[in-house]
Amino acid sequence: MKTYLGIDVGSISTNLVLIDEKNQILSSLYLRTEGDPIEVIQKGLKELKNYISKYNPAIEVSGVGTTGSARQLAGVITGADLVKNEITAHAKGASFFVPEVRTVIEIGGQDSKIIILENGVAVDFAMNLICAAGTGSFLDAQASRLKLPIERFGEIALRSDNPTNIGSRCTVFAESDMIHKQQIGYSTEDIVAGLCQGLARNFLNNVAKGKNIKPPIVFQGGVSENLGMRRAFKEALGEKIIVPPYNTVIGAFGVALLVKENHPQKTKFLGFEISDKNIKCTSFQCKSCPNNCEVIEARIDGEVVARWNDRCGKYSNLKYD
Amino acid sequence: MTIGIPRALIYWKRPQFWESFFEDLGFRVLLSPETNKELVEAGVRVSDPENCFSTKVFFGHLLWLDGKVDWVFVPRLKTNAEKLEYCPKFFALPDLSKILVRTPILTETFNEKKEPLEGTLAKLGRKIGREKREVKRAREKAFLKEKDEEREKRENFFRKIEEKTTKITLVSHPYNFYDDYVNLRVKEKLEKLGAQTIFIEETPVNETINQRSKVQDKDYPKFHWEFGKEWMEKIDAILDYNITGAIEISSFQCGCDAVLKEFVEKKFKQNSIPFLYLLIDEQTGEAGLQTRLEAFIDTLR
């Protein structure tokens, strides 16, 4: 049985989605990256392998696609057939579930983006520029400050009838504003709901500035799990917000669909064995010019498979087998 | 005697002219090297954080020249031949430079609204002990070199515009466009993605058409800054050709760009040309830029 694997490695989560030829999702995994993309990819592949041998040993992987901020690294260590940027992958995933979608709001761990679609393809987009206010890691930080598990953040926000106004232009100021609100006696619910509203406002004023937001609006990415954020966008936009199935792993699903559509004759996938191999990334400083680039080197069982992060291409353009 | 020229900011406004001018007057010219990490770090260290990224880069180049030359040439650019103003940061550049380095700063105020370029150049010549007629000859030679370069740019433009690839026009200041360290090699990255880049400055503007028809139905105001008029006219001109998309690259903290961006974006969008806005500073990561470029190219297909 032919299947296609999509891997989305982001700053906070790493997701794996396996689909069959009818675009059915056979398995989906949402794992925390925890600063070690290599280990989490190996862990994900191991879990997937266990699933396959348990439920359907006839499964063979006919194509692998990677996306997310570590797509290059993921592509190197898995032997991906397609390495695709996360905007295209997310647009693909969203338009599969909501074919007539016009706007995608995607908020992940460190990136937030808006994608404008026409007839199922992305025609315009924007990502947060220099500021990461309004992304998942900000919510994570505030949740731990309030000693709330992030999973319960949304439901607590929904309990508020009177969200407090929290300045959201900058994460640092939002935080001091929040502490101030705590100290003058606002309830946790109102603060949490206020944070959600501030985030939504920040997203719409900065990332989505100047974009023509038309329904249907799809909200996806890790932060779309948050019920408070769903409500905040619904209220700020005055439109229905659609959260598609597999909303947290939809980038991985999108890239799986993309690799299936452009499937290779023979996949370059290195096999599930890579989860047992010794994969290491090290870096060294190139001294050839004053740029002093930190070149990163990936090795599988001691053999160099790729190098990157050099400005001039001296190392990244070399061919490795 | 050696005159040092920082290879940054205003240098890129006239890259041929000054080198040729001073060399013809019998000086040795030392250009600071192409921008690299060390230069940027040095510039960021001495610069007020409120300065734009491009100014910080300039300071890095200036510091590199300190002690290596007899003068560092930092002109004070106020208004151009069309009587339009340069960025206010340019006004103060020689004064700030004097604080930062020990090597004497060679400067003169170029305010063409009040004094034609010829007059200012003669004054500059006097400062370095050169006669009027020597300056005249050096000026004319430098202009000829500039003309050659312009012709080359024009030929380049028509060669590129006829290619049957994805054509992307880059709207930016020359000091962002020509400095590959600063723009994170955006041209090379786009080429690898199969796109040809055309710098907006290369676009020839047909003066007669511009003066006759377009003046009346201009959809942008009379800008205060020289590059505002230039950009908008050139965007009008390039829209007559078949371009696939447009990317504006702006230095972080650039106040002029923040105003102009609204008009640039509107113009491309009204003409259904996909538009991407990129902001660069000393923190900009290549990965984030790569993601945006890849996604942008995908939206063009």
Could you tell me if residue B37 is inside a domain?
Answer: yes
Could you tell me if residue B151 is inside a domain?
Answer: no
**A54-86 pLDDT tens trace:** 988 889 999 999 999 899 999 999 999 999 999
Residue B194 shares a structural domain with residue B225 = yes
Which CATH number goes with the domain that contains B56? 3.40.50
Residue B233 shares a structural domain with residue B127 = no
Residue B180 shares a structural domain with residue B110 = no
**Residue-number span of the structural domain to which B107 is assigned:** 2-144
Say if residues A259 and A8 touch (Cβ distance below 8 Å): no
Could you tell me if residue B115 is inside a domain?
Answer: yes
Residue B116 shares a structural domain with residue B201 = no
Contact B287 A124 (CB under 8 A): no
Residue B106 shares a structural domain with residue B220 = no
Residue carrying structure tokens 């902001």: B279
Give the helix/strand (H/E) hosting B248: strand B245-251
pLDDT at A130 over 70: no
CA distance B205 to B199: 13
Could you tell me if residue B26 is inside a domain?
Answer: yes
Could you tell me if residue B118 is inside a domain?
Answer: yes
pLDDT at B212: 43
Q: In what order do the strands lie in the sheet with A112-118?
A: A121-127, A112-118, A103-107, A217-220, A241-242
Closest chain A residue to the Cα of B250, Cα to Cα: A129
For residue A19, CA distances in Å to A16, A61, A91, B136, B160 come to 10, 9, 17, 74, 43
Residue carrying structure tokens 């030359």: B69
Residue B138 shares a structural domain with residue B233 = no
pLDDT at B16: 87
Could you tell me if residue B156 is inside a domain?
Answer: no
**A246-277 pLDDT tens trace:** 999 999 999 999 999 998 999 999 999 999 99
Q: Which of B82, B112, B144 is the last residue of a domain?
A: B144
Q: Is the ipTM of this complex over 0.95?
A: no
Q: Which of B110, B144, B178 is the last residue of a domain?
A: B144
Residue B134 shares a structural domain with residue B266 = no
pLDDT at B61: 98
Could you tell me if residue B128 is inside a domain?
Answer: yes
CA distance A177 to A147: 17
Residue B130 shares a structural domain with residue B204 = no
**A131-156 pLDDT tens trace:** 666 678 888 888 888 888 888 889 99
**Hey, of B265, B281, B291, B297, which one would you mutate to test binding to chain A, going by the most A CBs within 10 A of its CB?**
B291
Q: Which 8-state DSSP code applies to residue B278? A: E
User: Of the spans A108-122, A279-293, B108-122, which averages the highest pLDDT?
Assistant: B108-122
For residue A37, CA distances in Å to A11, A78, A139, A153, B197 come to 9, 12, 22, 26, 34
Residue B286 shares a structural domain with residue B167 = yes
pLDDT along chain B (301 residues), means of 10: 96 92 96 94 92 94 97 95 89 94 96 95 96 95 93 91 92 94 92 94 74 58 83 91 93 86 91 91 80 93 80
Please indicate if any CB of chain B lies within 8 Å of the CB of A258: no
Judged by DSSP in three states, A249 sits in coil
Could you tell me if residue B153 is inside a domain?
Answer: no
pLDDT at A139: 83
Please indicate if any CB of chain B lies within 8 Å of the CB of A87: yes
A86: nearest CB among B252, B286, B291: B291
Please give the tally of structural domains in chain B: 2
Q: Which domains does chain A have, with CATH numbers?
A: 2-89+252-276 (3.30.420.40), 99-243 (3.30.420.40), 278-321 (no CATH)
Q: Which of B116, B144, B172 is the last residue of a domain?
A: B144
CA dihedral angle for residue B53, residue B57, residue B63, residue B65, rounded to 10 degrees: -150
Which CATH number goes with the domain that contains B281? 3.40.50.11900
What average pLDDT does the structure give for chain A? 90
Contact B292 A127 (CB under 8 A): yes
Judged by DSSP in three states, A115 sits in strand
Judged by DSSP in three states, B246 sits in strand
